[in-house]
Amino acid sequence: MAIMKIRKIGDPVLRSKAKEVDKINDKTKELLDNMTETMYDADGAGLAAPQVGVLQRIFIVDDGEGLTEFINPKIISKKGKAIMEEGCLSVPGETGTVVRAKNVIVEALNRNGEKFKIEATDLKARAILHEYDHLEGILYVDKKISQEQLKGIEIEEN
C-alpha cells in the first residue's frame, strides 16, 4: 500500500466529472487500499478517487463506525435537512457551513463487484454526500452558506 498525493483546490481534476468503473480488477482494489491508507494518514472521514487524481466513480467513508467502499454509487433518495460545518482534505485549513440531506440511501458496488444498498443518517449521510459531490466535480465550498443565509433555512427532520 502507498500514501497518495491529495489534490488541492485549484487542481482541475477536482472540477472534472468522474467516469464509471467498467471492470473491478486488482488495480481497482489496489486503488481502494491506497485511498484507505491515504485517508487514515490524513485523518479524514472520507476520500474520493478524484482527490488523488483518479477520475473514477469511487469513494470511501469512515464515520467512526468502520470503512465503507463505494464503486459507481448512485443516490437513490435524500430526505431532511441538516446544517453542519464541513472541511475537506482538498481544502486544507478551511471549514464552512453546509446544508445537506439528513438521510440518504445509496446503491453501489463493493470491491468484489457485489451490489449493496446503504441507508445512512447524520454524519455518515453527510460524508457520503460530500464524497459523492467530488465525483461530480463539486467541492463543499460551492455549497457553503453565510450566517445571513442560514437564518432563512428551515430544518426538516425527515
| CA gap 123, 138 in Å, rounded | 19
Instruction: Read off the pLDDT of residues 103-114 as tens digits, 9 standing for 90 and up.
Output: 999 999 999 999
42-90 residue pLDDT tens: 999 999 999 999 999 999 999 999 999 999 999 999 999 999 999 999 9
Residues in Cβ contact with 30 at an 8 Å cutoff, skipping those fewer than 6 apart: none
| Catalytic one of 37, 131, 148, 154 | 131
Task: Name the nearest CA neighbour of 10 among 100, 88, 86, 98.
Answer: 88
**More confident position, 73 or 154:** 73
Whole-model pTM: value is 0.93
Active site (annotated) includes residue 30: no
Residue type, 53: G
Task: Identify the structural domains of the chain with CATH numbers, from first to last.
Answer: 12-150 (3.90.45.10)
